[in-house]
Amino acid sequence: MTIKVKNEEALVIKIAESINGAAVSYGRYADFPDARDLMKGFDLESDTLDKIHRHCGENGLYALVRSEINQVLTKNYPFDSNRAKIPLRNFSEFSEPIVAAKNIVKRIKVLPARYRASVQLPAHFSIPLLPYVAAVKLSDSFVICRADRLPKHFPMSSENDYVDKSLFSDPFTNSSNTDRELSSDRLFFTSVELGYATVSSGNLVCTNFMDKVRAIYGACIALGFFTTEYGGQHDKKPFIILHTEAEEREIIATEELDSDLWDHRWQRSTKRFVESSSDPSRSIRAAFEKISIILGDDEFSRRLFTACIWYYRAKISRNSLDSLLHATIAIEALLGDRDTSETVGLARLLGNRCAYLLGRSRKSRQAIIDEFLAIYRLRSAIVHSGKHKLEHNERKVSDACLRLCGDVISKELDLHHSSDLDEAIPF
């Protein structure tokens, strides 16, 4: 899939005009006075604008043009503490704006590009699993593996000093962001992602990757694969490493994991799961088979994926009110049905579906329905009446909601568990 551009010459001229009016500060950060108007009055294919926004973010073409220019500056010029703005056309690569604009349009036309996003997993998650896990394929593009099973060509240096300073340190403080060495006693998530990224901007590609990590963590908690435990020793702050996905990979960006995925106060430990199993290898394999379901491309998998993200957010929140809201969003994402809910009511629909999914007797099903109706009464008070603080008994309702949410996700994963997962996948 590539992007089609109508009236390519006119787009080149528009971008060239923006380059001609742009200025650079700190030797590498371009700014455009009117660049956010790049798309106004310009005729593109009907879905092209949506594709550009999908790959480049809400600022669309502006973000892409700015990132492409900043990438050239980052690769060729050192960081300059001088804030004075210099016309972009003073730099040799942009002295001919039309030529530079044509190169940017070529980049637009081949979107989305392919990247490999990878992140080192924490010690308390990795170490208990290392004796049993080499490389496990969770989807066609997503793998959990040891460092020695990462792609053979996995550079941690760009061989460009200016780029490396941007990747591995903060140019304003010259402080190091991340280690260049891959730990042999850690597991990694690594995934092929589609989108747009440069040295100066890997944000959307990394954001999509982090959502996959959240969903997997949510499924792990629901299945009891790891526990969240307070305290203990922790690794350094983890970073996503982004490479171009080609025969000769190039490191393109590093980005810090969002705080909810690495909060140093919480361990995500698989130790209890491994030690409680009489056959850890088989139990781990079964857990990964179930987790792989959320990365499928069918409608049910997508609903599970969304539910697992919200469940993870509910579990890590330290605010009971927020946990309840997140958990109800997760349940609705998984079990909701707009057409049916308009007839019988959303709370009763979801309560019945939870009851018949989890209940083993008429009595237990009725207890679940009653519990769920209490949850939705409290949710309604929060959403519609602005309730902002939970009393002691209401916190118990929030805890029940979390429990139900985890049970529903776990049950659905159990019901849809398949056994066709490869245990070790070569890259």
- Structure confidence by residue, pLDDT tens digits, 228-286: 766 655 566 788 999 998 878 888 888 888 888 986 556 788 999 999 999 999 999 99
Run of H or E including 31: strand 29-31
Residue 278 has a pLDDT of 96
So what's the pLDDT on residue 216? Answer: 97
pLDDT at 364 over 60: yes
Is the pLDDT assigned to residue 326 strictly greater than 90?
Answer: yes
- Residue from 235, 213, 231 nearest 122 by CA: 235
DSSP H helical ranges for 345-391 = 346-358, 362-385
Q: What is the pLDDT averaged over residues 374-387?
A: 91
State both tokens at 125: 């998650």
Structure tokens of 393? 């008994």
Beta strands in 135-203 (DSSP E): 135-137, 142-146, 169-170, 175-176, 187-195
* β-strands 187-195, 142-146 pairing: antiparallel
- Counting residues of the chain whose pLDDT is more than 90, the rounded percentage is 47
- pLDDT of 423 reads 42
Q: What is the spatial distance between Cα 4 and Cα 183, in angstroms, rounded to a whole number?
A: 43
48 φ, ψ (degrees, to nearest 5): -65, -45
Percent of the chain with pLDDT over 70: 83
- pLDDT value of position 420: 46
Cα 170 from Cα 156, distance rounded (Å)? 17
- In this structure, the dihedral spanned by the alpha carbons of residues 246, 91, 204 and 46, taken in order and rounded to 10 degrees, is -90
Can you give the pLDDT at residue 424?
40
DSSP 49: H
**How far is 253 from 198, CA to CA, in rounded Å?**
7
Bridge partners of residue 240, in order along the sequence: 255
pLDDT for 421 equals: 45
Give the per-residue pLDDT at 180: 66
Whole-number pLDDT of residue 425: 38
Please, are residues 224 and 154 in contact by the beta-carbon 8 Å criterion?
A: no
352 pLDDT above the threshold of 60 = yes
168-177, 219-228, 305-314, range with the lowest pLDDT: 168-177
**The pLDDT of residue 327 is above 60:** yes
Using alpha carbons, select from 282, 308, 280, 307 the residue that is nearest to residue 419.
Answer: 282
pLDDT tens by residue, 201-223? 557 899 999 999 999 999 999 99
Higher-pLDDT residue of 191, 416: 191
How do residues 47-98 score in pLDDT, each as one tens digit? 677 778 788 877 777 888 888 888 888 888 877 777 778 889 999 999 999 9
**Contact in structure between 39 and 15 (CB atoms under 8 Å):** no
Q: Which residue has the tokens 């209401």?
A: 394
Nearest CA to 295 out of 126, 88, 141, 167 is that of: 141
Instruction: Report the pLDDT value the prediction gives residue 5, as an integer from 0 to 100.
Output: 67
Distances (CA, A) of 406 to 85, 202, 308: 54, 32, 9
